[in-house]
Chains A and B, each alone.
Chain A
Amino acid sequence: MSSILQVRNIEKYFGNKGNVTKAIDDLSFEVEPGEFIGIMGPSGSGKTTLLNCLSTIDRVTTGDVIINGKKITSLNRRGMEKFRRQELGFIFQDFYLLDTLTVYENIALALTIQGVNTSEIQLIVNDITEKLEIKSVLSKFPYEISGGQKQRVACARAMVTQPTLVFADEPTGALDSKSSRILLESLEKLNQDLNTTILMVTHDAYTASYTNRILFIKDGKIFNEIVKGTDTQYEFFKCIMEVNTLLGGDINHVF
């Protein structure tokens, strides 16, 4: 049992008896520890639904999701909340930082929720902020720092608890290209240094090219899968573009 995430034949329906939409249609895949995996697909392909189902925000209709050996699809609400707290980390397009807390407190909050000791908090936060080069803004409030810094703070918050799995939903969506690059390099670094498993949803091919493996989704099914392997990032990027063209998605979603 080496996989950190196993998805087995999951389906997700929306709507009621008369009118059912299949958002996810019999989807299965596995993620190995330490992987940086991307999920791509056009609008309405079921990316976000998939992410929600995997991250315990939503429930699947049928099928199993197993994270770190735990069948999350059979957890009750309380169990799910506890699981989310202990095993998962989140990064969102809109940063989702608490505007009332300082950068330091935003990161520390993730630890205090888990009941980590005060003295440890300081060490852990210092450590991760150094890696992400945001140590200089620790005492500032979110409205005082740039978008790129905000996203790195969100990153730090997601990683600081050393979760089994980090979900990133369009993390570069609200950033300019330079900030995006810095962020993605940070993610890559954290993935390698801390061996954190990251699952990233994006529709930007450049962003996706930082991952090790990409799943393409269309109409709730896996359409294609490409692995970076020994390719350079540029070759991988070209590969992604080809699949994207094949996918027939709206060209606007690529660039």
Chain B
Amino acid sequence: MYSKLSLRNVKRSFKDYAIYFLTITLAVCLFYSFNALPAQKVMLDLSSHQEELIDSFMTIIGIISIFITILLAFLILFANRFLIQKRKKELGLYMTLGMTRFEISRVLLIETFLIGLISLGVGLGLGIILSQGLSILTVTLFKVDMQVYQFVFSVTAMLKTILYFSLIYMIVMMCNVIIINRQTLLSLMTAGRKNQRVKMRKTSTGIGLFVLAVLMIGTAYIIVLRNDFILKDLNILYLSVILCLIGSILFFFSISQFLLHIIQKNKQLYYKHLNMFVLRQISSKVNDTFISMTLICMLLFFTITILSTAFSLKDGLEGDLEITTPYDASFFFFNREASPEEMGEKLRELRLDEYGNTVLFNEYVFDQPIVESVNDIEDVSIKKWLSQTYPTIITQTTYAQLSRLQVKEPVTLKENEILFLTNIGAYEDEMRQFTKQIYHMKIGDKSYSISSQGYQLFSTRTDMMATEEMVVVVPDDATKGLRIESVVLNLQYTGSKEKADAEIYQRVQSYQKYKQDNFHLVSTFKNRIYEWGVITSNQIVYIGLYIGIIFLISSACFLALQQLSEMSDNMERFNILKRLGVTQTEINHIIFIQILIYFMVPLTLAVLHSIIGIRVLSRTLTNLIGSHLFLSSIMTAGVLLLIYGSYFLVTYLSYKSIAKQMTR
């Protein structure tokens, strides 16, 4: 009997449930497809090392999934509360008919269960389709040949999805029981009545606040754009983030008042058809919406930034690897007590020259920031950078040997000339400016001139990340009296790379095991770094996609629910308009405009924020390639259009159909 009632309720109020259903289905779909990623392993030819990396990646996805589940739980609870709110009268009617609270809770329980079951089923189905799409993405990302196309299905991911979402439904059901138990019959029956009167604010304050908001956001933009080393000076970054945040809050608080005021000035426009109604309509809601608008704007900002930089970051990271891994393997010691001869001896003990050509060299270090050794520089930001930089130093001989090992023509250096090296692509601009502005550098008592080449993009060892901010190549005799930081050995194989990698790895392991002192040997292998790099960068892409899309869904769902929860107030207004002779088509038009404005305003500001954010990221973090950024921006726009657009459409359609039913 009760289940019949529930079933009919679900069928009847499907329009109300549309947003709820859409959100859960999308969430289930994403949750499944990202948790099903390891199932794709069967398609890829992976080394055991890569499999280990993928396992650790899955741990990250697992942790993110927990956070996402919590976020979704809140979202679903919010949606559920909205539905209960809408149906209070109906529930009150059940109560007057003699149903107990327990029985009403049971009806709701079955309803939640049904909706949950349907959306879980549909979501999983879509998830299985989406994960096939992700497989294709994986194949492209990992640049591997697909051995055999296989239909990917992960039982673990399915069970996990069912478990997590069942938990969410359980919480929703519990909340429903609590909500119902708290209600009195009176509060249920009078729920439809408005107890909130609209209070309108004066518009003059809105203008001041809007100008302030624009100024704050503008200042924040200028700060981050002017400051080339924003990520190094976190205080300035925080300042601009806070400015931007407060500016955004004020922006949403005042924009409708501002527009209202501006348009009111133009009487022809304001008193044209229904313009004033629409404007007043939007400005009347500002008190309830500005906080959530800011939240939505921030979520969208993260979505856009994450999605459009994820692919570029991947390219940047993999591009960096080209520069940072010029040798097949590198070995180095850190030990301040031991002499360089001792360290060199230890490295020679490994007998690495059996596998190919080696270069062994000392790395010296400057004990003072480089700014004190060069002529005065006017550029403030460069000067600031130099005052924080302690360069590493190698000799001209070492540089020539390393160049030969890389099969690269070295820059010709005169006897008292020095050359700067960096392996961080993002610093090229600064390096160029810096080497143009200095004429000489002092080491010890002697002064050296700068090579006409200035700087070179060069790595002195193979490493996972570009960390060699500044290396100075100096004449051999200039290193006297400088402290040795470490001893490095670079190796270029002549024979089989796989065999060498495996054997040397073994040798280093056993060396580490039997070492009797605190000589710590670090070894890096080009192949391993590449395997690691490809997987890491793909992790960034996947995590970016996962979080970005979930954020997008959350913000769109939040917006949609907010619009729909205002519906009952607006129905009354639409009824009045109809009596005044406004046609249904015009009312639909008003609904469209209103929802469009609500969806577009936070999106517009978010897009502006992201443009600035991406610019800062692209300049500071990696050398993002323009064309890739463009492509991923197009892709982001596509995802945004699809998901945000469908939420907009569903909101508009359900709004419209309810408006048609409820107004005459």
Interface-central residue, A78, A101, A141, A143, by most chain B CB under 10 Å: A101
A130 vs B283: C-alpha distance when bound (angstroms) = 29
B580 touches A110 (CB 8 A): yes
B281 touches A118 (CB 8 A): no
In the complex, B198 has a CB within 8 A of chain A: yes
A84 vs B577: C-alpha distance when bound (angstroms) = 11
Chain A neighbourhood of B581, CB < 8 A: 81-82, 84-86, 88, 113-114
In the complex, B199 has a CB within 8 A of chain A: yes
CB distance from A144 to the nearest CB of B (A): 9
A77 vs B283: C-alpha distance when bound (angstroms) = 32
In the complex, A97 has a CB within 8 A of chain B: yes
Interface positions, chain B 258-305, Cβ under 8 Å from A, are: 267-268, 271-277, 280-281, 283-284
Chain A neighbourhood of B573, CB < 8 A: 98-100
Interface positions, chain A 60-93, Cβ under 8 Å from B, are: 77-78, 81-82, 84-86, 88, 90, 92
In the complex, A247 has a CB within 8 A of chain B: no
**Set B272, B277, B583: member contacting A98, Cβ < 8 A:** B277
What per-residue 1/0 map shows which CB atoms of B513-532 lie under 8 Å from chain A?
A: 00000000000000000000
| Contact (A115, B273) CB under 8 Å given A100-B281, A105-B280 | yes
CB distance from A240 to the nearest CB of B (A): 28
In the complex, A109 has a CB within 8 A of chain B: yes
Question: Considering only CB atoms and an 8 Å cut-off, how many residues of chain A contact the other chain?
Answer: 32
A90 vs B274: C-alpha distance when bound (angstroms) = 18
B200 touches A77 (CB 8 A): no
CB distance from A186 to the nearest CB of B (A): 20
Chain B neighbourhood of A110, CB < 8 A: 580
In the complex, A157 has a CB within 8 A of chain B: yes
Interface contact tally, CB-CB below 8 A: 83
In the complex, A40 has a CB within 8 A of chain B: no
A113 touches B273 (CB 8 A): yes
Chain B neighbourhood of A86, CB < 8 A: 581
In the complex, A24 has a CB within 8 A of chain B: no
A82 vs B586: C-alpha distance when bound (angstroms) = 12
In the complex, A165 has a CB within 8 A of chain B: no
| Contact (A118, B271) CB under 8 Å given A100-B198, A101-B277 | yes
| Contact (A112, B276) CB under 8 Å given A57-B664, A84-B581, A100-B284 | yes
In the complex, B632 has a CB within 8 A of chain A: no
Chain B neighbourhood of A92, CB < 8 A: 579
Chain A neighbourhood of B580, CB < 8 A: 85, 90, 109-110, 113, 157
In the complex, B137 has a CB within 8 A of chain A: no
CB distance from A67 to the nearest CB of B (A): 14
Interface-central residue, A85, A96, A99, A111, by most chain B CB under 10 Å: A99
What per-residue 1/0 map shows which CB atoms of B172-216 lie under 8 Å from chain A?
A: 000000000000000000000000011110000000000000000
Q: Is the interface of A mostly helix, strand, loop or mixed?
A: helix
A143 vs B284: C-alpha distance when bound (angstroms) = 13
In the complex, A184 has a CB within 8 A of chain B: no
| Contact (A143, B579) CB under 8 Å given A98-B277, A105-B280 | no
A112 touches B200 (CB 8 A): no
In the complex, A175 has a CB within 8 A of chain B: no
Chain B neighbourhood of A141, CB < 8 A: 198, 200
A151 vs B280: C-alpha distance when bound (angstroms) = 21
In the complex, A205 has a CB within 8 A of chain B: no
A81 vs B574: C-alpha distance when bound (angstroms) = 14
In the complex, A121 has a CB within 8 A of chain B: yes
In the complex, A190 has a CB within 8 A of chain B: no
A121 touches B271 (CB 8 A): yes
Interface-central residue, B277, B284, B581, B664, by most chain A CB under 10 Å: B581
B274 touches A98 (CB 8 A): no
CB distance from B661 to the nearest CB of A (A): 15
Interface positions, chain B 548-603, Cβ under 8 Å from A, are: 573, 575-584
B576 touches A101 (CB 8 A): no
A115 vs B580: C-alpha distance when bound (angstroms) = 13
| Contact (A99, B197) CB under 8 Å given A81-B583, A85-B582 | yes
| Contact (A97, B277) CB under 8 Å given A118-B271, A141-B200, A143-B199 | no
Chain A neighbourhood of B271, CB < 8 A: 108, 111-112, 118, 121
**Set B274, B280, B579: member contacting A112, Cβ < 8 A:** B274
| Contact (A77, B280) CB under 8 Å given A100-B198, A112-B272, A118-B267 | no
A99 touches B198 (CB 8 A): yes
Name the CB-closest residue of A to B570: A100
A115 vs B274: C-alpha distance when bound (angstroms) = 10
CB distance from B660 to the nearest CB of A (A): 11
Chain B neighbourhood of A109, CB < 8 A: 274, 276-277, 580
A90 vs B271: C-alpha distance when bound (angstroms) = 21
B274 touches A96 (CB 8 A): no
Name the CB-closest residue of A to B276: A105
Chain A residues with CB under 8 Å of chain B are 57-58, 77-78, 81-82, 84-86, 88, 90, 92, 96-101, 105, 108-115, 118, 121, 141, 143, 157
Given A85-B583, A108-B271, 18 new contacts (CB under 8 A): A57-B579, A81-B581, A81-B584, A84-B579, A85-B580, A90-B580, A92-B579, A99-B284, A101-B276, A109-B274, A109-B276, A109-B580, A110-B580, A113-B580, A113-B582, A141-B198, A143-B197, A143-B198
Task: Jot down 18 A-B pairs with beta carbons below 8 A, ordered by A.
Answer: A57-B579, A81-B578, A81-B581, A81-B582, A82-B583, A97-B576, A98-B576, A99-B198, A100-B200, A105-B280, A111-B271, A112-B273, A112-B274, A112-B275, A113-B580, A113-B581, A114-B581, A143-B199
In the A-B complex, the 9 residue pairs with the smallest Cβ-Cβ separation, listed nearest first, are A85-B581, A81-B583, A100-B280, A100-B284, A90-B579, A96-B576, A84-B581, A143-B197, A118-B271
